């Protein structure tokens, strides 16, 4: 059975489960949320958000996305807003992905495109992770929300690396990523992506070819983890060497987001 969404007009808004983490501790319940865009929230949704009392909102969208899909918030919301747009200018952007699918339509082309997209994320998002960790450890950051437009790819990688820094196991990190499929409306998002490809880049795509682009397949996130393993030997070295996470900051991060150590 598909879980009921927390917000009516943002189905992919959810709390990350209190997974086991470092030193026998767990993620604090309702301390970390993830979502897609929040421009269509209804009054009932705003009341739910008001009750959550979010303290830090990390927005991974570009300025163009933020301008077109303006987030709605309760009046007087106390949260800090942290903009962390994807500034990557590599050949893994949407136009390149749509070109690949046009040349190689069907599941194979989409899988190749997503593999390329996820393998470049560790390098592309290292600076953003550093800024996010700085913001969390600066204080007054919980509950925390991380979101992008769909709440799957950019949000999926950032949340995965945050969970890794907290000592959450690989299987649970993959489980959280794949859980997005329970909240994501694949048919709606596929149709929207076809329209975006034609409107913005002039590519006419087969709707079936874009379905993998809007799915949360475990092999997508596994591609990022494989790139981290190849480049740094694992997430611990990646977080330390590429992101700049020190042992002291890691411990502070865990104190903020994890339950106290068991007695």
Quote the pLDDT of residue 90.
54
Could you read off the pLDDT of 17-71 as tens digits, one per residue?
Answer: 999 999 999 999 999 999 999 999 999 999 999 999 999 999 998 888 899 899 9
Active site residues: 148
Could you read off the pLDDT of 105-118 as tens digits, one per residue?
Answer: 778 888 888 998 89
Out of 3.30.460.80, 3.40.50.300, 3.90.190.10, 1.10.3720.10, the CATH code matching 14-257 is 3.90.190.10
What CA–CA distance (Å, rounded) separates 179 from 172?
10
Residue range 249-258: average pLDDT?
97
pTM over 0.85: yes
Report domain extents, the chain. 14-257
DSSP 185-218: -HHHHHHHHHHHHHHHH-----HHHHGGGGS--H
Residue range 163-191: average pLDDT?
91
pLDDT bracket for residue 214 (50, 70, 90): confident
Residue range 140-165: average pLDDT?
95
């Amino acid at each position: 059975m598909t879980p009921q969404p927390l917000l009516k007009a943002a189905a992919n808004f959810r709390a990350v489960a209190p997974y086991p983490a470092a030193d026998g501790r767990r993620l604090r319940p309702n301390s970390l949320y993830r979502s897609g865009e929040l421009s269509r929230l209804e009054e009932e949704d705003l009341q739910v958000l008001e009750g959550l009392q979010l303290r830090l909102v990390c927005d991974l969208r570009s300025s163009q996305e933020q301008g077109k899909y303006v987030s709605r918030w309760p009046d007087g919301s106390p949260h800090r807003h942290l903009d962390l747009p994807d500034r990557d200018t590599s050949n893994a952007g949407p136009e390149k992905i749509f070109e690949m699918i046009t040349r190689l339509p069907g599941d194979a082309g989409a899988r190749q495109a997503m593999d390329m997209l996820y393998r470049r994320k560790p390098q592309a998002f290292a600076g953003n992770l550093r800024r996010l960790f700085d913001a969390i450890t600066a204080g007054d950051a919980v509950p925390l929300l991380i979101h992008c437009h769909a709440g799957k790819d950019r949000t999926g990688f950032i949340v995965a690396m945050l969970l890794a820094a907290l000592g959450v196991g690989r299987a649970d990190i993959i489980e959280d990523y794949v859980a997005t499929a329970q909240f994501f409306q694949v048919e709606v998002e596929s149709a929207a992506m076809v329209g975006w490809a034609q409107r913005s880049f002039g590519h006419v795509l087969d709707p079936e070819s874009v379905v993998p682009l809007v799915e949360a397949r475990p092999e997508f996130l596994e591609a990022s983890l494989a790139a981290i393993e190849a480049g740094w030997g694992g997430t611990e070295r990646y977080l330390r060497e590429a992101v700049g996470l020190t042992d002291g900051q890691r411990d502070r991060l865990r104190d903020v987001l994890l339950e106290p150590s068991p007695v």
